[in-house]
Amino acid sequence: MRLTNMSDYAVRLLIYLGSHRDRLCTIAEIAQVYGISEPHLMKITHRLAQRGWIRTVRGKNGGMELAHEPGKIRLGALIRDMENDLALVECMGTDNHCILSGCCGLKPIVAGAMQAFMDHLDAHTLADVIPPFPPAAIRIAPERVAAGGLTTAA
């Protein structure tokens, strides 16, 4: 299973906010730290705010903050909210045209794997993934930008 960039970036954004609980953070600063385009991050911020994960404040001194304590934000709930399609195989989706439907045993096996995956995520909160150092100490290594990887600042 692979999560979308939207889920990945949403978790990164919440990690950043969870590491900077003392102030409002801006899209521009988070985009710069993580090397994510501002328009893409704006779309994710909008969705997180709509769904109640973050609070936003408009204006000159505006920004965003977590709407809940990090220990109250279940990773499974966040991923379910951010992913548009968790149907790992066609027969699990709403537009099922698989000719094997009804005679194949794959669907319950994959559904069980997905349930175990989500149960594992549900057992963890944002507090479990916030690093001991602030994400502002993270820098993008030029050779890893193409791969989407982050490294810690030296």
pLDDT tens-digit series, residues 98-115 = 766 677 777 788 888 888
Q: Which two tokens stand for residue 154?
A: 């030296």
* Between 2 and 47, the higher pLDDT residue: 47
Handedness of CA 24, 30, 31, 36 (dihedral sign): negative
Residue with tokens 């501002």: 38
Rounded distance, CA 127 to CA 72, Å? 8
pLDDT of residue 126: 97
Contact (Cβ atoms closer than 8 angstroms) between residue 71 and residue 126: yes
pTM for this structure?
0.79
Strand pairing partners for 63? 57
Phi, psi of 102 (to 5 degrees): 95, -20
